[in-house]
Amino acid sequence: MEAASASPVLQRARGTGRVTVASRDGRTGLRTLYQEGCAKIRLPNAFDSTAHAVLINTAGGLTGGDHVEWQASAGADAKLTLTTQACERIYKSLGPDARIETRLTAGPGARLDWLPQETILFEDSRLSRRIDIDLDETASLCAIEAVLLGRDAMGESARNARLADHWRVRRGGRLIHAEATRISGMPERERDGLALLRGASAFATILYIGADAEARQARLPPSPPSVGSSRTGDRLVVRLLAPSGLALRRLLIPIITVLSGIGSLPRLWSL
């Protein structure tokens, strides 16, 4: 009885959201939609040929032991843009990680934009995130993940926050992009290291894959030294560091405008 009372079973947030779209008569429409738990998906009206999906975590944030799964698929020639209703907040954990798993697929000729708003890591938070993307050889992708370490307005630095982030991207069944980011709560080495975050409290990665990657890279706006890009064939990677969330957004907006399939930010980014 004493052991049971020492380890109470806490209520945890669980959610699964899946959306599939298909192209018909030059427009992209909904094919399947599934929602469970705290994961909700809304499909705002669009006035172009692209389907837009808004991902919502009704729990209002995640903490240790919470688990959310997102899945999205764009069929042949379909165009799908996904974003979030707001920034995802990762709160203090009593031990285990909060987990977010995302799986995206795009068929022949499809275009997929993964444009969630920033993830905010609070003090003593722990997040394990995994993104798996499968693309057809002729599909294109723009994917972004941005992280804020603490809340600027509250003067937080979240120097004890922990993050484990894994990306795996395949094209035509072949692995073309893999990366792992880890923040283990050792700020002197990771947060302040000149070869790592260099004191930045906000950072982002943008991945573009498409036959026109070279042309899009040439259109990127002039950027400060805290922004770097590299291209290998049809793959373009842009990485950004910034001293604050606001500074990061100011860097992100013109880059997303160039690289995203919709040629602009999702409307929710500016509301």
Model confidence pLDDT, tens digit, residues 167-176: 999 999 999 9
Residue in this structure with the two tokens 């036959």, named with its chain if needed: 211
Percent of the chain exceeding pLDDT 90 equals: 76
Q: What is the pLDDT of residue 193?
A: 77
263 pLDDT band, cuts 50/70/90, is confident
pLDDT, residue 9, reads: 59
Buried b (16+ CB within 10 A) or exposed e, 176-193: bbeeeeebeeebeebbee
Closest CA to 103 of 17, 182, 22: 17
- DSSP for residue 221: P
Q: What is the separation of C-alpha 216 from the centre of its chain, rounded to a whole number of angstroms?
A: 20
SS3 68: strand
Give the pLDDT confidence score for residue 99 in this predicted structure. Answer: 97
**Contact in structure between 242 and 251 (CB atoms under 8 Å):** yes
Q: How far apart are CA 207 and CA 229, in angstroms?
A: 10
Which pLDDT score, from 0 to 100, does residue 223 have? 86
Instruction: Judge whether residue 248 has pLDDT over 80.
Output: yes
Q: Is 32 exposed, middle or buried, given 0-12, 13-18 or 19+ CB atoms closer than 10 A?
A: exposed
pLDDT in tens, 189-235: 777 777 788 888 999 999 999 999 999 999 999 989 999 999 999 99
Please state the pTM of the whole predicted model: 0.93
| 253 φ/ψ sector (left φ>0, alpha ψ -120 to 50, else beta) | alpha
Question: Which of the four pLDDT bands, split at 50, 70 and 90, describes residue 271?
Answer: low
**What's the rounded mean pLDDT across residues 109-115?**
97
Q: How confident is the model over 12-40, as pLDDT tens digits? A: 899 999 999 999 988 999 999 999 999 99
